[in-house]
Structure 1
Amino acid sequence: MASLFMNQEDRTRAVEQLFGYTFEDPSLLHKALHLAGSGGSLDGNKSLAQVGDAVLRLALVSEGYEKGMAREHTSRIVDRVGGNDMLTSVGFLHKLDKLVYKNPSQLGGVPPKPMACTVEALLGAVYLDSSKSIDTVRQVMSVLGLVWPELAN
């Protein structure tokens, strides 16, 4: 279903079903789905993506700490799992590009960087909506495949 024809309720239902998480404040979810220039906002989901980037890194770094991993090893995992290439791939894999609100002048698909930003923004939205529960964010990260690789080098 193209995002042009989806209403807010359909988008909310699609993300909640994918994540296995119900938003208390769906407006956070919709802020996360707004690309720059859409919905009257020049920055779109970028501020929320900043929160999501920080919480994603916190979840990964704390897991590295809990596993007793060396700082350098943890940094490589954070760079790999939390990098734009992985975030972009995850976003497209789960068809999040079909759910974003685009700027009306944007033709075609969602570019890679805005897709990565959207995934981060969605994690930020879950974090804020769940009363800043890192465990809830970790559950959503797991659903998306943003997990600590057990046998990573």
Structure 2
Amino acid sequence: MWRTKAMEDLLEYRFKDKTLPLSALNLPGRLTSIKDNTGLAQVGKAVMELFLITDGYDKDMDPENINTLLTYILDNSKLADVGTKKGLGRCMMGMQSGTTSLTPLYTARTVQALMGAVYIDSDGDLEKLHEAMMAIGLLPKPGAQLPV
């Protein structure tokens, strides 16, 4: 359960269902009773888009600027970079012994899955999702310059 605690600390969120972060860290193809992160990654991708679009709409942002923001924040290379900098590789489960490194796509999907886990565990609370996105470093700090 050290992985769950590590993710709770990283995301500044306490999971009610302690298996959700484990599922988010479980790469596809691993034979275990814990679901892999594919479904949670799909949820995470969708709800991060929902949050950013809704937030932009509420702030009367131009749709083009919202699209730029989506690309800037949710690009797989950015997600992978954030995950790598936060040390997700040491927590991810399912890497074969002998593999040299995690692929960026696995890391990006794990970040998406963690956001999906927060969303599901919080009963769809977009504010909790926002806080987790801030905690992991996906969103710029308040007052930071955005690319839009």
Please give the TM-score of this superposition, normalised by the length of structure 2: 0.90
Q: 9, 15, 25: which one pairs with 2:7? A: 15
Other-structure match for 2:147: 152
Distance 1:67 1:81 in 2: 17
Is residue 55 of structure 1 aligned with residue 47 of structure 2? yes
Other-structure match for 1:33: 25
- Structure 1 outlier segments of 4+, above 4 Å: none
Other-structure match for 1:96: 88
Distance 2:71 2:25 in 1: 24
Other-structure match for 1:139: 131
CA shift for structure 1 position 106: 5.9
C-alpha contact 2:84 2:107 (8 A) present in aligned 1: yes
Distance 1:106 1:51 in 2: 31
Q: 106, 113, 121: which one pairs with 1:129? A: 121
CA shift for structure 1 position 103: 4.0
User: What amino acid sits opposite 2:75 in the alignment?
Assistant: G
Residues 86-117 of structure 1 deviation map (CA, whole Å, 9 limit, x = unaligned): 10001001001110001435612211001000
CA shift for structure 1 position 150: 4.0
Distance 1:102 1:139 in 2: 28
Coordinate RMSD, CA, aligned: 1.7
Residues 106/87 of structure 1: CA separation in 2 closer, same or farther (3 Å cut): farther
Q: Percent identity?
A: 35
Please give the TM-score of this superposition, normalised by the length of structure 1: 0.87
Residues 122/106 of structure 1: CA separation in 2 closer, same or farther (3 Å cut): farther
Distance 1:65 1:88 in 2: 27
User: What amino acid sits opposite 2:147 in the alignment?
Assistant: A
Name which of structure 1's ranges 118-127 and 142-151 shifts more when overlaid on structure 2.
142-151
Q: Report the number of matched residues.
A: 144
SS in 1 for 2:36: coil
C-alpha contact 1:37 1:103 (8 A) present in aligned 2: no
Name which of structure 1's ranges 30-39 and 134-143 shifts more when overlaid on structure 2.
30-39
SS in 2 for 1:104: coil
Q: What residue ranges of structure 1 are gaps of 5+ in the alignment?
A: 1-8
Q: What residue ranges of structure 2 are gaps of 5+ in the alignment?
A: none
Residues 60-107 of structure 1 deviation map (CA, whole Å, 9 limit, x = unaligned): 111111221100110111011011011000100100111000143561
Distance 1:106 1:117 in 2: 21
Residues 36/144 of structure 1: CA separation in 2 closer, same or farther (3 Å cut): same
